[in-house]
Chain A
Amino acid sequence: MMEKLKKIRAGDVLVVGTSLVVLLIALVWVGYQEPLVIAPKDGFVSKDPYVLFSIEKGSVLLIDETPSFESPVKYEIKNQTIIHLKPGVYYWKVLGVKESKVRQLRIDSLVDLQLREKDENYQVINAGNDELKVSFKESDTLLRTQILGRGESANVSGNYVKGEVYNE
Protein backbone atom coordinates (compact mmCIF):
# COMPACT_ATOMS: atom_id res chain seq x y z
CA MET A 1 0.00 0.00 0.00
CA MET A 2 2.79 2.36 1.01
CA GLU A 3 4.68 1.40 -2.12
CA LYS A 4 1.64 2.31 -4.23
CA LEU A 5 1.24 5.66 -2.47
CA LYS A 6 4.90 6.43 -3.00
CA LYS A 7 4.52 5.65 -6.71
CA ILE A 8 1.49 7.93 -6.97
CA ARG A 9 3.31 10.76 -5.18
CA ALA A 10 6.27 10.29 -7.46
CA GLY A 11 3.84 10.49 -10.40
CA ASP A 12 2.33 13.70 -8.96
CA VAL A 13 5.73 15.26 -8.56
CA LEU A 14 6.64 14.21 -12.09
CA VAL A 15 3.46 15.72 -13.57
CA VAL A 16 3.71 19.00 -11.64
CA GLY A 17 7.44 19.19 -12.20
CA THR A 18 7.10 18.55 -15.94
CA SER A 19 4.38 21.20 -16.22
CA LEU A 20 6.50 23.74 -14.41
CA VAL A 21 9.59 22.92 -16.47
CA VAL A 22 7.60 23.17 -19.74
CA LEU A 23 6.12 26.48 -18.65
CA LEU A 24 9.49 27.81 -17.54
CA ILE A 25 11.21 26.79 -20.77
CA ALA A 26 8.35 28.26 -22.81
CA LEU A 27 8.45 31.52 -20.88
CA VAL A 28 12.23 31.83 -21.19
CA TRP A 29 12.05 30.97 -24.88
CA VAL A 30 9.25 33.44 -25.54
CA GLY A 31 11.18 36.07 -23.56
CA TYR A 32 14.08 35.71 -25.96
CA GLN A 33 11.84 35.89 -29.02
CA GLU A 34 10.98 39.59 -28.86
CA PRO A 35 11.77 41.07 -32.27
CA LEU A 36 15.16 42.77 -32.26
CA VAL A 37 14.89 46.16 -33.91
CA ILE A 38 18.21 47.47 -35.21
CA ALA A 39 16.86 50.34 -37.33
CA PRO A 40 15.24 52.79 -37.42
CA LYS A 41 15.54 53.97 -33.84
CA ASP A 42 12.46 55.15 -31.94
CA GLY A 43 11.70 58.80 -32.80
CA PHE A 44 13.59 58.59 -36.10
CA VAL A 45 13.24 61.79 -38.19
CA SER A 46 14.27 62.14 -41.81
CA LYS A 47 13.48 64.00 -44.99
CA ASP A 48 14.40 60.92 -47.01
CA PRO A 49 11.17 59.04 -47.74
CA TYR A 50 13.03 55.71 -48.04
CA VAL A 51 13.25 54.13 -44.60
CA LEU A 52 15.45 51.13 -43.87
CA PHE A 53 13.88 48.66 -41.45
CA SER A 54 16.52 46.30 -40.07
CA ILE A 55 14.91 43.67 -37.87
CA GLU A 56 15.70 40.25 -36.46
CA LYS A 57 13.24 37.70 -35.08
CA GLY A 58 10.29 39.35 -36.79
CA SER A 59 8.23 38.48 -39.83
CA VAL A 60 5.56 41.16 -40.19
CA LEU A 61 5.93 44.93 -39.99
CA LEU A 62 2.85 46.96 -39.12
CA ILE A 63 2.80 50.68 -39.97
CA ASP A 64 -0.07 53.00 -39.08
CA GLU A 65 -0.77 56.69 -38.73
CA THR A 66 -2.36 56.18 -35.32
CA PRO A 67 -0.66 54.58 -32.28
CA SER A 68 -3.68 52.34 -31.68
CA PHE A 69 -3.06 50.50 -34.99
CA GLU A 70 -6.69 50.56 -36.02
CA SER A 71 -5.94 50.08 -39.74
CA PRO A 72 -2.26 49.29 -40.21
CA VAL A 73 -0.53 48.41 -43.46
CA LYS A 74 1.20 45.06 -43.06
CA TYR A 75 4.51 44.40 -44.78
CA GLU A 76 6.32 41.11 -45.09
CA ILE A 77 9.86 41.74 -43.88
CA LYS A 78 13.14 40.02 -44.23
CA ASN A 79 16.12 41.14 -42.14
CA GLN A 80 16.38 44.40 -44.07
CA THR A 81 13.61 46.06 -46.00
CA ILE A 82 13.45 49.59 -47.40
CA ILE A 83 9.97 51.09 -47.53
CA HIS A 84 8.94 54.33 -49.21
CA LEU A 85 6.75 56.46 -46.93
CA LYS A 86 5.06 59.76 -47.66
CA PRO A 87 5.81 62.66 -45.30
CA GLY A 88 4.00 62.28 -41.98
CA VAL A 89 4.16 60.71 -38.54
CA TYR A 90 4.00 56.93 -38.38
CA TYR A 91 3.75 54.35 -35.62
CA TRP A 92 5.18 50.93 -36.24
CA LYS A 93 5.74 47.58 -34.59
CA VAL A 94 7.03 44.17 -35.55
CA LEU A 95 5.26 40.85 -35.12
CA GLY A 96 7.15 37.66 -34.59
CA VAL A 97 6.69 35.08 -31.87
CA LYS A 98 6.21 38.14 -29.70
CA GLU A 99 5.20 41.65 -30.58
CA SER A 100 7.74 44.46 -30.38
CA LYS A 101 6.96 47.70 -28.58
CA VAL A 102 5.39 50.49 -30.63
CA ARG A 103 7.88 52.92 -32.12
CA GLN A 104 7.43 56.21 -33.91
CA LEU A 105 9.09 57.79 -36.93
CA ARG A 106 8.59 61.00 -38.85
CA ILE A 107 9.26 61.85 -42.47
CA ASP A 108 9.58 65.61 -42.81
CA SER A 109 8.28 67.12 -46.00
CA LEU A 110 10.91 68.65 -48.27
CA VAL A 111 9.79 71.48 -50.53
CA ASP A 112 12.38 71.63 -53.31
CA LEU A 113 11.91 73.45 -56.59
CA GLN A 114 14.37 73.34 -59.45
CA LEU A 115 14.27 75.71 -62.37
CA ARG A 116 15.72 74.57 -65.68
CA GLU A 117 15.83 75.86 -69.20
CA LYS A 118 14.29 73.45 -71.67
CA ASP A 119 13.53 74.07 -75.34
CA GLU A 120 13.81 77.86 -74.95
CA ASN A 121 11.38 77.79 -72.02
CA TYR A 122 11.84 77.54 -68.30
CA GLN A 123 10.55 74.52 -66.49
CA VAL A 124 10.06 74.07 -62.79
CA ILE A 125 10.52 70.60 -61.31
CA ASN A 126 9.24 69.27 -58.00
CA ALA A 127 12.45 67.75 -56.63
CA GLY A 128 11.09 67.39 -53.09
CA ASN A 129 9.39 64.46 -51.43
CA ASP A 130 5.81 65.68 -51.31
CA GLU A 131 3.05 66.94 -53.57
CA LEU A 132 3.44 70.70 -54.07
CA LYS A 133 1.13 73.59 -54.86
CA VAL A 134 3.12 75.81 -57.21
CA SER A 135 2.05 79.42 -57.81
CA PHE A 136 3.23 81.44 -60.80
CA LYS A 137 3.22 85.22 -60.45
CA GLU A 138 4.17 88.25 -62.54
CA SER A 139 4.88 91.31 -60.39
CA ASP A 140 2.60 90.18 -57.51
CA THR A 141 -0.22 89.20 -59.87
CA LEU A 142 -1.14 85.54 -59.57
CA LEU A 143 -1.17 83.99 -63.04
CA ARG A 144 -1.98 80.39 -62.11
CA THR A 145 -1.42 77.60 -59.61
CA GLN A 146 -0.60 74.01 -60.40
CA ILE A 147 -0.25 70.85 -58.33
CA LEU A 148 2.99 69.00 -59.04
CA GLY A 149 3.66 65.45 -57.94
CA ARG A 150 7.16 64.34 -57.03
CA GLY A 151 9.38 64.52 -60.11
CA GLU A 152 6.71 66.31 -62.17
CA SER A 153 7.51 69.49 -64.05
CA ALA A 154 5.60 72.47 -65.48
CA ASN A 155 6.37 75.32 -67.82
CA VAL A 156 7.05 78.58 -66.01
CA SER A 157 4.91 81.63 -66.59
CA GLY A 158 5.70 84.99 -65.02
CA ASN A 159 8.81 85.92 -63.09
CA TYR A 160 8.11 84.36 -59.70
CA VAL A 161 7.50 80.70 -58.82
CA LYS A 162 6.55 79.65 -55.30
CA GLY A 163 6.20 76.09 -54.02
CA GLU A 164 4.50 74.93 -50.84
CA VAL A 165 3.16 71.63 -49.52
CA TYR A 166 -0.22 70.88 -51.04
CA ASN A 167 -2.91 70.16 -48.47
CA GLU A 168 -6.09 68.76 -49.98
Chain B
Amino acid sequence: MNKKILYFVFVIFVLIELGEFSSALGITPGASGADYVAGGKESFTFTIINSEKTAQEVEIDLQGELASNMAVDKDIIEFAANEEEKKVTVTLIMPPSMPPGLHKGQLVATQKKSVKSSGQATIGAAVAVAADISFFVPYPGKYVEGKLEVSGNEERKQFRIPIINRGKETINKVSALIVVYDKNQNEIVRLNTNEISMNPGDLREISALWNVNVSKGKYLAKAVLNYDGEEVLLEKEFEVGELELELLDLFVKDFTLGGVAKFNLLVQNKWSEPILDTYAQMKVFDVAFNELADVKSALYNIPAGEKTTMVYYWDTKDMKEGTYEANVLLHYAGKKTQQDVKLQIGKDSIEVIGLGRVIGSEGKGLGSTTTILVIIIVFLVLLNVVWFLILRKRK
Protein backbone atom coordinates (compact mmCIF):
# COMPACT_ATOMS: atom_id res chain seq x y z
CA MET B 1 0.00 0.00 0.00
CA ASN B 2 2.79 2.37 0.98
CA LYS B 3 4.58 1.54 -2.27
CA LYS B 4 1.44 2.47 -4.25
CA ILE B 5 1.19 5.80 -2.45
CA LEU B 6 4.88 6.47 -3.05
CA TYR B 7 4.51 5.59 -6.75
CA PHE B 8 1.46 7.87 -7.04
CA VAL B 9 3.37 10.76 -5.39
CA PHE B 10 6.32 10.12 -7.75
CA VAL B 11 4.06 10.19 -10.86
CA ILE B 12 2.42 13.43 -9.69
CA PHE B 13 5.88 14.94 -9.07
CA VAL B 14 7.11 13.94 -12.53
CA LEU B 15 3.95 15.32 -14.17
CA ILE B 16 4.37 18.62 -12.33
CA GLU B 17 8.00 18.75 -13.38
CA LEU B 18 7.13 18.00 -17.02
CA GLY B 19 4.38 20.60 -16.96
CA GLU B 20 6.96 23.24 -16.17
CA PHE B 21 9.32 22.04 -18.87
CA SER B 22 10.82 24.64 -21.11
CA SER B 23 14.25 25.25 -22.49
CA ALA B 24 15.87 27.75 -24.78
CA LEU B 25 19.07 28.38 -26.64
CA GLY B 26 20.23 31.17 -28.89
CA ILE B 27 23.19 32.26 -30.98
CA THR B 28 24.12 35.59 -32.53
CA PRO B 29 25.03 36.59 -35.16
CA GLY B 30 23.29 33.88 -37.16
CA ALA B 31 25.75 34.33 -40.02
CA SER B 32 29.23 35.79 -40.46
CA GLY B 33 31.40 36.14 -43.50
CA ALA B 34 34.82 37.23 -44.64
CA ASP B 35 36.62 38.12 -47.84
CA TYR B 36 38.64 35.22 -49.17
CA VAL B 37 42.40 35.56 -48.79
CA ALA B 38 44.39 32.46 -49.83
CA GLY B 39 45.94 31.02 -46.66
CA GLY B 40 44.41 33.84 -44.61
CA LYS B 41 43.26 33.56 -41.03
CA GLU B 42 40.03 35.06 -39.74
CA SER B 43 38.39 35.01 -36.31
CA PHE B 44 34.67 35.18 -35.63
CA THR B 45 33.11 35.72 -32.24
CA PHE B 46 29.63 34.40 -31.51
CA THR B 47 27.47 34.85 -28.45
CA ILE B 48 25.64 31.81 -27.12
CA ILE B 49 22.48 32.92 -25.35
CA ASN B 50 20.88 31.16 -22.43
CA SER B 51 17.72 33.25 -22.55
CA GLU B 52 15.87 31.33 -19.81
CA LYS B 53 18.92 31.60 -17.54
CA THR B 54 18.77 27.94 -16.57
CA ALA B 55 21.83 25.92 -15.55
CA GLN B 56 22.76 23.94 -18.62
CA GLU B 57 25.63 22.47 -20.62
CA VAL B 58 25.98 23.36 -24.27
CA GLU B 59 28.09 21.36 -26.69
CA ILE B 60 29.92 23.30 -29.39
CA ASP B 61 30.51 21.61 -32.71
CA LEU B 62 31.78 22.58 -36.16
CA GLN B 63 30.02 21.20 -39.21
CA GLY B 64 29.84 21.60 -42.97
CA GLU B 65 32.32 22.00 -45.81
CA LEU B 66 34.70 24.24 -43.83
CA ALA B 67 34.62 22.20 -40.58
CA SER B 68 38.15 20.88 -41.11
CA ASN B 69 39.45 24.42 -41.69
CA MET B 70 37.97 25.79 -38.47
CA ALA B 71 38.84 25.57 -34.79
CA VAL B 72 36.77 26.63 -31.83
CA ASP B 73 38.11 27.81 -28.46
CA LYS B 74 35.57 25.78 -26.41
CA ASP B 75 33.97 22.38 -26.86
CA ILE B 76 31.58 22.70 -23.95
CA ILE B 77 29.99 25.72 -22.35
CA GLU B 78 28.58 25.48 -18.87
CA PHE B 79 25.93 27.99 -17.91
CA ALA B 80 25.20 28.51 -14.26
CA ALA B 81 21.64 29.51 -13.34
CA ASN B 82 21.16 33.25 -14.06
CA GLU B 83 24.02 33.31 -16.58
CA GLU B 84 22.65 34.72 -19.78
CA GLU B 85 25.40 34.61 -22.40
CA LYS B 86 28.90 33.38 -23.20
CA LYS B 87 31.26 34.05 -26.08
CA VAL B 88 32.76 31.51 -28.43
CA THR B 89 35.52 32.28 -30.93
CA VAL B 90 35.98 30.37 -34.15
CA THR B 91 39.22 30.64 -36.09
CA LEU B 92 39.08 29.93 -39.78
CA ILE B 93 42.18 29.14 -41.80
CA MET B 94 41.32 29.73 -45.43
CA PRO B 95 42.77 27.09 -47.75
CA PRO B 96 45.46 28.30 -50.18
CA SER B 97 43.24 27.45 -53.11
CA MET B 98 39.53 26.91 -53.40
CA PRO B 99 37.20 26.75 -56.40
CA PRO B 100 35.30 30.01 -57.06
CA GLY B 101 31.95 30.36 -55.31
CA LEU B 102 30.46 30.33 -51.83
CA HIS B 103 32.04 28.09 -49.19
CA LYS B 104 30.29 27.53 -45.90
CA GLY B 105 30.71 25.95 -42.49
CA GLN B 106 28.56 25.98 -39.35
CA LEU B 107 29.05 26.51 -35.66
CA VAL B 108 26.41 24.41 -33.92
CA ALA B 109 25.53 24.82 -30.25
CA THR B 110 23.51 21.92 -28.82
CA GLN B 111 21.95 21.59 -25.38
CA LYS B 112 23.57 18.67 -23.64
CA LYS B 113 21.38 18.61 -20.60
CA SER B 114 19.57 21.25 -18.63
CA VAL B 115 19.20 21.23 -14.90
CA LYS B 116 16.36 22.79 -13.01
CA SER B 117 16.66 24.55 -9.71
CA SER B 118 15.43 21.37 -7.99
CA GLY B 119 18.44 19.54 -9.44
CA GLN B 120 16.30 17.42 -11.76
CA ALA B 121 17.63 17.01 -15.28
CA THR B 122 14.96 17.75 -17.84
CA ILE B 123 13.97 15.41 -20.64
CA GLY B 124 12.66 16.02 -24.16
CA ALA B 125 14.17 16.99 -27.49
CA ALA B 126 17.64 18.55 -27.56
CA VAL B 127 17.66 22.05 -28.95
CA ALA B 128 20.46 23.14 -31.28
CA VAL B 129 21.12 26.48 -32.92
CA ALA B 130 23.55 27.08 -35.77
CA ALA B 131 25.45 30.03 -37.19
CA ASP B 132 26.88 30.10 -40.71
CA ILE B 133 30.50 31.02 -41.40
CA SER B 134 31.27 31.65 -45.03
CA PHE B 135 33.52 33.25 -47.57
CA PHE B 136 33.25 33.79 -51.27
CA VAL B 137 36.09 32.96 -53.63
CA PRO B 138 35.92 35.48 -56.49
CA TYR B 139 35.61 34.19 -60.02
CA PRO B 140 38.54 34.90 -62.34
CA GLY B 141 37.87 37.78 -64.72
CA LYS B 142 34.48 39.43 -64.73
CA TYR B 143 31.49 37.86 -63.00
CA VAL B 144 28.35 39.31 -61.45
CA GLU B 145 25.41 37.89 -59.54
CA GLY B 146 22.06 39.61 -59.66
CA LYS B 147 18.44 39.12 -58.73
CA LEU B 148 15.42 40.67 -60.43
CA GLU B 149 12.88 42.19 -58.04
CA VAL B 150 9.56 43.77 -58.96
CA SER B 151 7.67 46.20 -56.76
CA GLY B 152 5.06 48.93 -57.15
CA ASN B 153 1.35 49.06 -57.84
CA GLU B 154 -1.11 48.77 -60.70
CA GLU B 155 -0.03 52.09 -62.19
CA ARG B 156 3.72 51.95 -61.89
CA LYS B 157 6.12 49.05 -61.48
CA GLN B 158 9.74 49.29 -60.52
CA PHE B 159 12.18 46.64 -61.68
CA ARG B 160 15.24 46.53 -59.44
CA ILE B 161 18.33 44.39 -59.94
CA PRO B 162 20.68 44.30 -56.93
CA ILE B 163 24.04 43.20 -58.32
CA ILE B 164 27.21 42.04 -56.63
CA ASN B 165 30.52 41.94 -58.47
CA ARG B 166 31.82 38.45 -57.66
CA GLY B 167 34.71 38.64 -60.10
CA LYS B 168 38.29 39.76 -59.64
CA GLU B 169 38.07 42.58 -62.18
CA THR B 170 36.37 45.95 -62.29
CA ILE B 171 33.30 46.06 -64.48
CA ASN B 172 33.06 49.27 -66.47
CA LYS B 173 29.47 49.01 -67.66
CA VAL B 174 26.58 47.08 -66.16
CA SER B 175 23.04 47.55 -67.41
CA ALA B 176 20.03 45.45 -68.31
CA LEU B 177 17.35 45.22 -70.92
CA ILE B 178 14.09 44.14 -69.32
CA VAL B 179 11.38 42.61 -71.47
CA VAL B 180 7.89 42.03 -70.06
CA TYR B 181 5.76 39.21 -71.48
CA ASP B 182 2.12 38.34 -70.88
CA LYS B 183 0.94 34.81 -70.07
CA ASN B 184 0.81 33.95 -73.81
CA GLN B 185 4.48 34.92 -74.21
CA ASN B 186 3.55 38.09 -76.14
CA GLU B 187 6.05 40.87 -75.66
CA ILE B 188 4.49 43.83 -73.85
CA VAL B 189 7.27 46.31 -73.27
CA ARG B 190 11.06 46.75 -73.38
CA LEU B 191 12.79 48.79 -70.71
CA ASN B 192 16.39 49.87 -70.33
CA THR B 193 17.90 50.29 -66.88
CA ASN B 194 20.51 52.84 -65.91
CA GLU B 195 24.17 51.96 -66.41
CA ILE B 196 26.75 51.70 -63.63
CA SER B 197 30.33 50.58 -63.08
CA MET B 198 31.43 48.24 -60.28
CA ASN B 199 34.64 47.47 -58.43
CA PRO B 200 35.29 43.87 -57.23
CA GLY B 201 33.06 43.08 -54.25
CA ASP B 202 30.73 46.05 -54.86
CA LEU B 203 27.00 45.67 -54.18
CA ARG B 204 24.94 48.08 -56.27
CA GLU B 205 21.60 48.30 -57.96
CA ILE B 206 20.21 49.15 -61.37
CA SER B 207 16.55 49.81 -62.02
CA ALA B 208 13.86 50.76 -64.51
CA LEU B 209 10.35 52.13 -64.14
CA TRP B 210 7.32 51.05 -66.10
CA ASN B 211 4.10 53.03 -66.35
CA VAL B 212 1.71 50.10 -66.47
CA ASN B 213 -0.82 50.14 -69.30
CA VAL B 214 -1.98 46.54 -69.33
CA SER B 215 -4.85 44.59 -67.80
CA LYS B 216 -4.60 42.72 -64.52
CA GLY B 217 -2.96 39.36 -64.50
CA LYS B 218 0.30 37.48 -64.34
CA TYR B 219 3.31 38.69 -66.31
CA LEU B 220 6.88 37.56 -66.75
CA ALA B 221 9.86 39.89 -66.72
CA LYS B 222 13.07 38.71 -68.36
CA ALA B 223 16.16 40.81 -67.78
CA VAL B 224 19.27 40.42 -69.87
CA LEU B 225 22.00 41.69 -67.59
CA ASN B 226 24.95 42.89 -69.63
CA TYR B 227 28.34 43.49 -68.00
CA ASP B 228 31.17 44.48 -70.31
CA GLY B 229 29.79 42.25 -73.07
CA GLU B 230 28.93 39.22 -70.90
CA GLU B 231 25.25 38.39 -70.45
CA VAL B 232 23.16 36.81 -67.71
CA LEU B 233 19.43 36.12 -67.93
CA LEU B 234 17.26 36.85 -64.90
CA GLU B 235 13.54 36.12 -64.66
CA LYS B 236 10.76 37.07 -62.33
CA GLU B 237 7.04 36.40 -62.49
CA PHE B 238 4.85 39.18 -61.15
CA GLU B 239 1.25 40.31 -61.06
CA VAL B 240 -0.37 43.49 -62.16
CA GLY B 241 -3.21 44.24 -59.79
CA GLU B 242 -2.08 41.78 -57.20
CA LEU B 243 -3.89 41.52 -53.94
CA GLU B 244 -2.20 43.68 -51.40
CA LEU B 245 -3.27 45.07 -48.07
CA GLU B 246 -0.91 47.65 -46.66
CA LEU B 247 -0.70 48.28 -42.92
CA LEU B 248 -0.60 52.05 -42.45
CA ASP B 249 -1.08 52.69 -38.75
CA LEU B 250 -1.90 51.03 -35.45
CA PHE B 251 -3.05 52.98 -32.44
CA VAL B 252 -5.00 52.74 -29.19
CA LYS B 253 -7.10 55.55 -27.73
CA ASP B 254 -8.76 56.00 -24.34
CA PHE B 255 -7.00 53.17 -22.55
CA THR B 256 -6.74 52.31 -18.89
CA LEU B 257 -4.46 49.49 -17.73
CA GLY B 258 -6.51 46.47 -16.65
CA GLY B 259 -9.33 47.38 -19.01
CA VAL B 260 -10.09 46.36 -22.56
CA ALA B 261 -7.86 48.06 -25.11
CA LYS B 262 -9.37 48.91 -28.47
CA PHE B 263 -6.77 48.60 -31.23
CA ASN B 264 -7.36 50.54 -34.43
CA LEU B 265 -5.51 49.10 -37.38
CA LEU B 266 -5.55 51.32 -40.44
CA VAL B 267 -5.08 49.36 -43.65
CA GLN B 268 -5.33 50.21 -47.32
CA ASN B 269 -6.54 47.92 -50.07
CA LYS B 270 -4.05 48.51 -52.88
CA TRP B 271 -5.89 46.17 -55.24
CA SER B 272 -8.41 47.25 -57.85
CA GLU B 273 -11.12 44.98 -56.46
CA PRO B 274 -12.60 44.52 -52.99
CA ILE B 275 -10.71 42.23 -50.62
CA LEU B 276 -13.23 40.07 -48.81
CA ASP B 277 -13.21 38.31 -45.46
CA THR B 278 -9.96 39.74 -44.25
CA TYR B 279 -9.07 39.84 -40.57
CA ALA B 280 -6.29 41.05 -38.31
CA GLN B 281 -4.61 39.03 -35.58
CA MET B 282 -2.28 40.21 -32.85
CA LYS B 283 -0.09 38.01 -30.66
CA VAL B 284 1.56 39.53 -27.61
CA PHE B 285 4.63 38.01 -25.95
CA ASP B 286 6.60 38.65 -22.79
CA VAL B 287 10.40 38.95 -22.78
CA ALA B 288 10.76 35.15 -22.66
CA PHE B 289 8.44 34.84 -25.67
CA ASN B 290 5.61 33.37 -23.65
CA GLU B 291 2.39 34.09 -25.51
CA LEU B 292 0.28 36.43 -23.40
CA ALA B 293 -2.49 37.13 -25.85
CA ASP B 294 -3.80 36.04 -29.22
CA VAL B 295 -6.63 38.31 -30.36
CA LYS B 296 -8.44 38.62 -33.67
CA SER B 297 -10.64 41.18 -35.35
CA ALA B 298 -13.98 40.49 -37.02
CA LEU B 299 -14.04 39.81 -40.77
CA TYR B 300 -13.86 42.87 -43.00
CA ASN B 301 -14.61 43.54 -46.66
CA ILE B 302 -12.39 46.36 -47.87
CA PRO B 303 -13.43 48.19 -51.06
CA ALA B 304 -10.90 48.68 -53.87
CA GLY B 305 -8.32 51.37 -53.11
CA GLU B 306 -10.02 52.27 -49.82
CA LYS B 307 -8.58 52.71 -46.36
CA THR B 308 -10.36 50.91 -43.54
CA THR B 309 -9.83 50.84 -39.81
CA MET B 310 -9.99 47.28 -38.53
CA VAL B 311 -10.75 47.01 -34.85
CA TYR B 312 -9.84 44.34 -32.34
CA TYR B 313 -9.92 44.23 -28.57
CA TRP B 314 -7.46 43.01 -25.96
CA ASP B 315 -8.35 42.49 -22.32
CA THR B 316 -5.32 43.76 -20.37
CA LYS B 317 -6.46 42.28 -17.05
CA ASP B 318 -3.38 41.05 -15.13
CA MET B 319 -1.05 42.91 -17.50
CA LYS B 320 1.61 45.13 -16.00
CA GLU B 321 3.17 48.33 -17.28
CA GLY B 322 6.12 47.64 -19.58
CA THR B 323 7.18 46.91 -23.11
CA TYR B 324 5.97 43.78 -24.86
CA GLU B 325 6.74 42.15 -28.18
CA ALA B 326 3.80 41.74 -30.56
CA ASN B 327 3.17 40.34 -34.02
CA VAL B 328 0.42 41.92 -36.08
CA LEU B 329 -0.81 39.63 -38.83
CA LEU B 330 -3.14 40.43 -41.71
CA HIS B 331 -4.95 37.43 -43.18
CA TYR B 332 -6.50 37.91 -46.61
CA ALA B 333 -7.23 35.76 -49.66
CA GLY B 334 -5.04 32.93 -48.40
CA LYS B 335 -2.15 35.33 -47.80
CA LYS B 336 -0.60 36.39 -44.52
CA THR B 337 1.56 39.41 -43.86
CA GLN B 338 3.35 39.98 -40.58
CA GLN B 339 4.57 43.17 -38.93
CA ASP B 340 6.57 42.98 -35.71
CA VAL B 341 6.02 45.79 -33.24
CA LYS B 342 6.52 46.58 -29.58
CA LEU B 343 3.70 47.68 -27.31
CA GLN B 344 4.69 50.13 -24.63
CA ILE B 345 1.98 49.79 -22.03
CA GLY B 346 1.51 52.56 -19.51
CA LYS B 347 -1.20 53.24 -16.93
CA ASP B 348 -3.34 55.07 -19.43
CA SER B 349 -1.74 54.55 -22.80
CA ILE B 350 -0.49 51.94 -25.25
CA GLU B 351 2.14 53.17 -27.64
CA VAL B 352 2.92 51.10 -30.73
CA ILE B 353 6.65 51.16 -31.49
CA GLY B 354 8.47 50.13 -34.64
CA LEU B 355 6.04 50.89 -37.43
CA GLY B 356 7.65 54.12 -38.67
CA ARG B 357 5.76 56.17 -41.22
CA VAL B 358 6.91 55.21 -44.68
CA ILE B 359 6.44 58.07 -47.14
CA GLY B 360 7.97 56.47 -50.20
CA SER B 361 10.06 53.66 -51.49
CA GLU B 362 10.86 54.51 -55.08
CA GLY B 363 13.71 56.48 -56.53
CA LYS B 364 16.00 59.06 -55.06
CA GLY B 365 14.93 62.47 -53.82
CA LEU B 366 16.10 65.50 -51.98
CA GLY B 367 14.24 67.35 -49.29
CA SER B 368 11.89 69.91 -50.79
CA THR B 369 13.11 72.60 -48.36
CA THR B 370 16.64 72.32 -49.79
CA THR B 371 15.35 72.72 -53.32
CA ILE B 372 13.25 75.77 -52.38
CA LEU B 373 16.18 77.34 -50.53
CA VAL B 374 18.56 76.83 -53.45
CA ILE B 375 16.01 78.36 -55.84
CA ILE B 376 15.52 81.40 -53.56
CA ILE B 377 19.25 82.03 -53.19
CA VAL B 378 19.93 81.65 -56.91
CA PHE B 379 17.00 83.94 -57.68
CA LEU B 380 18.24 86.62 -55.26
CA VAL B 381 21.77 86.48 -56.60
CA LEU B 382 20.58 86.66 -60.21
CA LEU B 383 18.27 89.56 -59.35
CA ASN B 384 21.17 91.47 -57.86
CA VAL B 385 23.43 90.72 -60.81
CA VAL B 386 20.78 91.93 -63.25
CA TRP B 387 20.18 95.02 -61.17
CA PHE B 388 23.93 95.68 -61.09
CA LEU B 389 24.28 95.29 -64.87
CA ILE B 390 21.33 97.62 -65.57
CA LEU B 391 22.82 100.28 -63.32
CA ARG B 392 26.18 99.89 -65.06
CA LYS B 393 24.56 100.40 -68.47
CA ARG B 394 22.77 103.52 -67.23
CA LYS B 395 26.14 104.87 -66.18
Q: Which residues of A contact B (CB under 8 A)?
A: 5, 8, 11-12, 15-16, 18-19, 22-23, 26, 30, 47, 49-50, 59-60, 65-66, 68-76, 81-84, 87, 95-99, 108-117, 122, 124-125, 127-128, 130, 136, 149-151, 156, 158-165
Chain B residues near A47 (CB-CB < 8 A): 28-29
Q: With both chains docked as a complex, state the minimum distance between the C-beta of A37 and any C-beta of chain B, in angstroms.
A: 15
Query: CB within 8 A of A117: which of B19, B355, B360?
Result: B19
**Which B residues contact A (CB, under 8 angstroms)?**
18-19, 21-31, 49, 51-52, 106, 108, 110, 124-132, 158, 160, 162, 203-207, 283, 285, 288-289, 325, 327, 338-342, 353-367, 369-370, 373, 377, 380-381, 384-385, 387-388, 391-392, 394-395
Interface of B is mostly: strand
Given contacts A60-B367, A109-B28, 16 further A-B contacts (CB under 8 A): A19-B381, A49-B340, A50-B342, A66-B162, A71-B158, A74-B361, A74-B365, A76-B357, A83-B356, A98-B370, A110-B30, A112-B25, A113-B127, A115-B22, A117-B22, A160-B125
From B22, B106, B205, B380, give the contact of A70 (CB < 8 A). B205
Bound: A72/B381 CA distance, A: 34
Contacts of B25 in A (CB 8 A): 112-113
Which of A19, A71, A112 contacts B205, CB < 8 Å? Answer: A71
For B26, the chain A residues whose CB sits under 8 A away are: 110-113, 127-128
What are 29 pairs between A and B in contact, CB < 8 Å? A8-B395, A12-B388, A19-B381, A22-B381, A47-B28, A65-B203, A68-B204, A71-B361, A75-B357, A84-B341, A84-B354, A108-B28, A110-B26, A110-B27, A110-B28, A112-B25, A112-B26, A112-B129, A114-B23, A114-B289, A116-B21, A116-B22, A117-B19, A117-B21, A124-B125, A151-B327, A161-B128, A162-B130, A165-B30
Give the distance in Å from the alpha carbon of A108 to the alpha carbon of B325 in the complex. 18
Contact A50 to B354, CB < 8 A, known contacts A75-B359, A112-B129, A150-B338: yes
Q: Please tell me if the beta carbons of A151 and B340 are within 8 angstroms of each other in the complex.
A: yes
Alpha-carbon distance between A74 and B354 when the two chains are bound, in angstroms? 15
Complex contacts, B364 vs chain A, CB 8 Å = 69-70, 72
Chain B neighbourhood of A75, CB < 8 A: 356-359
